Chain A
């Protein structure tokens, strides 16, 4: 079984739109939406949820105000500025408070508290789903609002996508990755066979592309590049082509800026379903190049 992850560094370059198109072109595969804190793939593939599972990530420190003696030990040991003293409204009232937003869940405060006034409580951090789409199975997730551990949730989604592929004897997992280069991106690309970076010819996207390509290299994964909206700045497109050539990175396709992308999205369709003529052939060719690479 092979795994392909689509990433971009910069957000909004067209990662999900292109991944969804690949879903309608690829055979015998599982889709995995690993952009768990802003998942959009479901808006084009319309999954029917077959199974919902809870995701429990980290814990948070909760203070029992009755037991707290305001000794201040927890404030001293917290490295995340999550515990502070507030104004005493009455002599009985505890002055120590824990900010759940800043709490990193390390639990040092709970271990150090001389009167055991702090408990570490597990919270429901999100959900993940196994679904059916017109194009085969899909695993996706929803991270709870303002929750942490998106990297862990990505790992859960990928793991289950692989299990389904094994169970159903499918050849490929296509992962829609998150933007950036941090924790959830690393969790989305480790151990995959190929990374496709979607970029556009803007200085911002080029700068971000250089960073994701270095990231792929860091984890020893072969990257290929797809240039979206290439006609917005031909000079910058040339720059991308030049440095890809220099580094031996294959460019699998170049798509023009086309308002059909927005039209298709508004109708909840992939580009292939919508049938935007100029784009469809180019996406089909790109997919052909990628699938040849994956079969090697």
Chain B
């Protein structure tokens, strides 16, 4: 079962919910638990889970390398490239590595077989363990625009048996789609404010378009207004948990201590949350 935790708006408590749920399930005795931090631009789940990292491997894109000896400067590679990553001049073929998506079209279609491929590192995948949880995270290189291929490599680590929890990056564009794609259920974390509501609506529409079943967690439920609730009721989006704002939790969070440590109250909330997810996912 793959459960992703997303939010649209950043800073609503995605990582808090994802890591606390993982710890809760682990305490409940679930084996074969996996946690994937797909927020590769800013991975933070490790701060709360504190895994022992035991493996690290680079993730590469394959980018073209033009053999100037064979190249006739016909320009076919530049014509087939959808990303303008190759420009062919009279006596030179220029590759722009940061624009290349690594599709392999140019090397496949070069009539002179003058293009081979070389690796370009975009980040790393790190694996480790904390208790019964297998932990996997990606870390995008600084200055690297392409987060999606790194998320794709992370997702290839998913063990289809057992439970996988995915911490999704904020927003609704490519990295989010890649991270939530093929999840069985998506928890949408929001807060009861106009920003929270606006971004929740976008996240709900995204889930509908991807046909992923979803439910809402209202974090800091006692701040702001009631418009998130009204929206959920009107659109029949289930609210699977409400977590009140607690300055203690915010202070613990600031030091990297998970919500679940704060005691029985939160254990109960996550128990109910898990029960409503189980009911919806067979």
Chain A residues within 8 Å of B, Cβ to Cβ: 8-13, 16, 35-38, 40, 43, 58-59, 77, 79-81, 101-102, 104-108, 111-112, 120, 143, 145-151, 178-187, 200-204, 207-208, 211, 214-215, 218-219, 232-233, 236, 259, 262, 265-266, 268
* Complex interface: chain A residues within 8 A of B83 (CB): 106
CB distance from A42 to the nearest CB of B (A): 9
- Report yes or no: A11 in contact with B170, Cβ–Cβ below 8 A: yes
Interface size class, chain B: 35 or more
A105–B82 touching, CB < 8 Å? yes
Q: Which residues of B contact A8 (CB under 8 A)?
A: 10
Bound together, the chains give a CA A182 to CA B146 distance in angstroms of 7
B92: min CB distance to chain A, Å: 24
Contact partner of B143 (CB less than 8 A), chosen from A150, A215, A259, is A215
**24 A–B pairs (Cβ distance < 8 Å), ordered by A:** A9-B42, A10-B11, A12-B9, A12-B12, A43-B198, A58-B82, A79-B102, A101-B210, A111-B80, A145-B209, A148-B173, A150-B171, A181-B142, A182-B147, A183-B147, A187-B145, A202-B253, A203-B44, A203-B47, A204-B44, A204-B47, A204-B256, A207-B42, A265-B193
Contact B173 A150 (CB under 8 A): yes
Contact of B170 among A38, A106, A183 (CB under 8 A): A38
Asked if B88 CB lies within 8 Å of chain A CBs, one says no
Q: Contact at B82–A106, with CB atoms within 8 Å?
A: yes
Contact of A183 among B42, B104, B146, B205 (CB under 8 A): B146
Known A12-B10, A203-B254: A146·B177 in contact at CB below 8 Å: yes
User: Which of A9, A12, A43, A80 meets B194, CB within 8 Å?
Assistant: A43
12 A-B pairs besides A36-B173, A108-B109 with CB distance below 8 A are: A38-B198, A102-B181, A106-B83, A107-B80, A146-B209, A147-B173, A148-B173, A179-B170, A182-B146, A187-B145, A203-B254, A236-B254
Given contacts A106-B101, A107-B82, A215-B143, is CB(A101)–CB(B202) below 8 Å?
no
With both beta carbons as reference points, the residue of chain A lying nearest to B142 in the complex is identified as A214
Give Cα A181 to B138, complex, Å: 13
Contacts A40-B9, A204-B15, A204-B256 given; does A184 touch B173 at CB 8 Å: yes
Say whether, besides A214-B142, A232-B254, A180 and B42 are in contact (CB < 8 Å).
Answer: yes
Residues B82 and A59 in contact, CB atoms below 8 Å apart: yes
In the bound assembly, the distance between CA atoms of A207 and B139 in angstroms comes to 12
CA of A208 to CA of B46 in the docked complex: distance in angstroms?
13
Q: Inside 8 A of A9's CB, which chain B residues have their CB? A: 42
Are A10 and B101 in contact (CB-based, < 8 A)?
A: no
Decide: A186 near B42, CB < 8 A? Known: A145-B202, A236-B254: no
B156 to chain A, nearest CB (A): 9
Q: Is the interface of B mostly helix, strand, loop or mixed?
A: loop
Closest chain B residue to A43, Cβ basis: B194
CA distance A259 to B172 in the complex (A): 28
The docked-state distance in angstroms from the alpha carbon of A102 to that of B180 is: 11
- A142 to chain B minimum Cβ distance, whole angstroms, is 9
B237 at interface by CB-CB < 8 Å = no
CB atoms of A101 and B177 under 8 A apart: yes
Q: Which chain B residue shows the least CB distance to A148?
A: B174
Say how far A104's CB is from chain B's closest CB, in angstroms.
Answer: 6
Q: Does B144 contact A (CB under 8 A)?
A: yes
Report yes or no: A37 in contact with B250, Cβ–Cβ below 8 A.
no
Q: Contact at B199–A218, with CB atoms within 8 Å?
A: no
In whole Å, how far is B79's beta carbon from the nearest beta carbon of chain A?
9
Q: State whether A40 touches B142 (Cβ < 8 A).
A: no
CA distance A179 to B193 in the complex (A): 18
Kindly name the residue among A40, A148, A204, A207 whose own CB sees the greatest number of chain B CB atoms within 10 A: A204
Q: A184–B250 Cα gap in the complex (Å)?
A: 29
Tell me whether A178 and B42 are in contact (CB under 8 A): no
A181 touches B140 (CB 8 A): yes
Kindly list chain A residues whose C-beta atoms are within 8 Å of the C-beta of B169. Answer: 179-180
Is B224 located at the chain interface by the 8 A CB criterion?
Answer: yes
Please determine whether B42 and A145 come into contact, CB atoms closer than 8 angstroms. Answer: no
The contact of B250 among A80, A108, A149, A232, by CB within 8 Å, is: A232
